[in-house]
Structure 1
Amino acid sequence: MWVCPKCGRSFKNVDQSHYCGKPPATIEEYIAAQPEEAQDYLRQINAAIKASIPETKEKISWSMPTYWKGRNLIQFAASKRHVGLYPGPEAVEAFAAQLTEYKTSKGTIQLLYSKPLPLELIGEIAKWCEENN
């Protein structure tokens, strides 16, 4: 077990990436708190989602940027080498044919910093999440 010296939380992995302290209040605060190399990707993803589902509420849930309409519709978060997009397992299954270039798991899509973002696809997934949830 590794204990973060800043916040005191325990993790299985040494130097586990996590958020210390009070969670950000807005998506913009979340993005500003991330490493500089991730911020542009996060802003682009946020803009694509916001443009596709403008009637949803923006909030932070589980310490992640979240779009909400009666329930969490879609979330995203920065990791060391990718941004995780969390539309849920049904969305990943519905878009499986379009996601063959990306690592996916149950409810998660990994968008590598080393690749261009599929912004149109992200918007389509967000819209699908709003319409099907």
Structure 2
Amino acid sequence: MPRPAFASVDDYLAALPDASRGTLTRVFAALRKGLPGAEPVVSYGIPALKSGGRVVVYCAAFTSHYSVYPATRDLVDALGDALAPYEYNGKGTIRFPLTGRVPVTLLTRIARLRAAEDAARGVRRLAAKKR
């Protein structure tokens, strides 16, 4: 069965059950706080933030958790013990329980670290093109 197509982040959030909607709204707001000026988009059927023409961070709600992507090894290492209460699958996904407090400070930090990683990646690409 194909996933529903959403025209906007607001459409995605509106389609969630009430309990999930409130949580993911707070999650997305925390990610936006870490990426001021980023454009909210739907990519791969889930909410994302785009900056500099590239998607920097994604989030999605599931039955009992929400996830934030991509979590690189450098990002996980930089966050250290702050991620201990949450699940990292080793493949780029950090899972948070859908119930309980939304870790706004941590999510904001994840967005900022992802932005820095993406900027560094862009610099490396430019340097490689000049060679």
TM-score (norm 1): 0.79
Larger helix fraction of residues: 2
Q: Work out the CA distance in 2 between the residues paired with 1:31 and 1:85.
A: 15
Q: Is the 8 A contact 1:91 1:128 kept in 2?
A: yes
Q: Determine the structure 2 residue equivalent to 1:13.
A: none
Q: Is the 8 A contact 2:71 2:94 kept in 1?
A: no
1:114 and 2:80 aligned? no
Where does structure 1 differ by over 6 angstroms across 4 or more consecutive aligned residues?
none
1:14-25 correspondence runs (5 A): 19-20=3-4, 23-25=5-7
Q: Work out the CA distance in 2 between the residues paired with 1:46 and 1:102.
A: 17
Q: Determine the structure 1 residue equivalent to 2:111.
A: 126
Higher relative contact order (CA 8 A, sep 6+): 2
Kindly tell me the number of residue pairs found equivalent between the two proteins: 115
Taking only the aligned residue pairs, the percentage that are identical comes to 26
1:92 and 2:76 aligned? yes
Q: Work out the CA distance in 2 between the residues paired with 1:43 and 1:61.
A: 17
Q: Determine the structure 2 residue equivalent to 1:65.
A: 47
> Structure 2: which 5+ residue stretches go unaligned?
119-131
C-alpha RMSD of the superposition: 1.5
TM-score (norm 2): 0.80
Q: Work out the CA distance in 1 between the residues paired with 2:77 and 2:54.
A: 20
1:53 and 2:35 aligned? yes
> Structure 1: which 5+ residue stretches go unaligned?
10-18
Q: Cα deviations across residues 107-127 of structure 1 (Å, max 9, x unaligned)?
A: 111110222111111001101
